[in-house]
Amino acid sequence: MKQRPTNQGPKRALVTGAAKGIGAAIVRLCVEAGHQVVAVDIDQEGLSRLRETVPGIETAILDVRDLAAWERVVEGAETQGGPFDVLINNAGVCLPGPCNKVSADDDRLTVEVNLMGVMNGVRTLLPRFLARKRGHVINVASMAAFSPSPDLAAYCATKHAVRAYTHSCALDHRNSPIHWTLVCPGAVETPMLESMRQRRAGVVVFTEKPMPPEEMGSAVVSAIREPRSEILVPNTPGKKLLRFIGLFPGLLARGMDDAERRGMEALDD
């Protein structure tokens, strides 16, 4: 789907999962690019630390699973600071382990945050964007949107779903002025990745050197300036190959033992 470039001026953006990791990097780089940011997260202490390092941002506590809370936060922020131009759905969790050992509660949390959180954001902001005849939805997924992985069944399922949801929404509104972007990063140095490292779970993600969160933040800022339907970060031949191999479960299975071995070796280095 071809998308028209947005205006080059500053935007007002709402960023979820903003207290740390990728979200915090997105906030910092958006502000550096001249955008006005409302950073939301369930982590109040993390938001307080973010305000100290990124002056001028607005913050609000938001559990992305709570649709009513979305309505309150967005209404309050738009009343106070003006309408949003960009929604950046970044909040996510990863609770790894073999599919038969992860608890039902953990699977439910993964689905509610990673998928329903995105859908709640769209449900809240899209009517406002349509009424104003402008707006941009940026959903952060993962390379897991293309490639299933051991120990990450629920996480991969939600990222596959976010990809399908994003592009389906774009098709619903293909004749509207609303932009839709899916951003799919590889491994990123975040607290989420550190937790996986300590638990030695989902080790295939460690077959590549994790990128700094600022690389993801830069990709999002570029997408605000020039919308694209789908962005791989980094946009390397290896990422494009992985997207293709993900279409063939048999190929994935044949190479997975070696990938897990290389991931364990990387953790041991």
pLDDT recorded at residue 242: 84
* Spatial strand order in the sheet of 179-185: 58-61, 36-41, 12-15, 86-89, 136-140, 179-185, 230-233
In a domain, 134, yes or no: yes
- What DSSP character marks residue 205? G
Checking if the pLDDT of 204 tops 80, the result is no
Q: Name the catalytic one among 155, 165, 180, 206.
A: 155
pLDDT digit string, tens, across residues 55-108: 899 999 999 999 999 999 999 999 999 999 999 999 999 999 999 999 999 999
What is the domain extent for residue 159?
12-268
- Number of domains, the chain: 1
Structure tokens at 113: 């945050």
Q: Is residue 67 part of a domain?
A: yes
Buried-exposed string 226-246: b where 16+ CB fall within 10 A, e elsewhere: ebbebbbbeeeeebeebbeeb
CATH code, domain with 198:
3.40.50.720
pTM listed for this prediction: 0.92
CA 147 vs CA 16, 33, 223: distances in Å: 24, 33, 23
- Return the structure tokens found at 170: 């774009």
Element (H, E) at 38: strand 36-41
* Band (7; pLDDT cuts 50, 70, 90): low
Q: Is the peptide bond before 234 cis (omega within 30 degrees of 0)?
A: yes
Active-site residue 165, yes or no? no
Per the domain annotation, does 132 fall within a domain?
A: yes
Asked whether residue 201 is assigned to any structural domain, the reply reads: yes
* CA dist list (Å): 245 to 66, 147, 202, 248, 250: 36, 8, 18, 6, 9
Residue 6 lies in a domain: no
Q: What is the DSSP letter of 101?
A: T
Higher local confidence (pLDDT), 245 or 179: 179
- Per-residue confidence band for 196, with pLDDT thresholds at 50, 70 and 90: confident
- Whole-number pLDDT of residue 261: 83
- The mean pLDDT of 224-241, rounded to a whole number, is 92
Closest CA to 129 of 64, 176, 174: 176
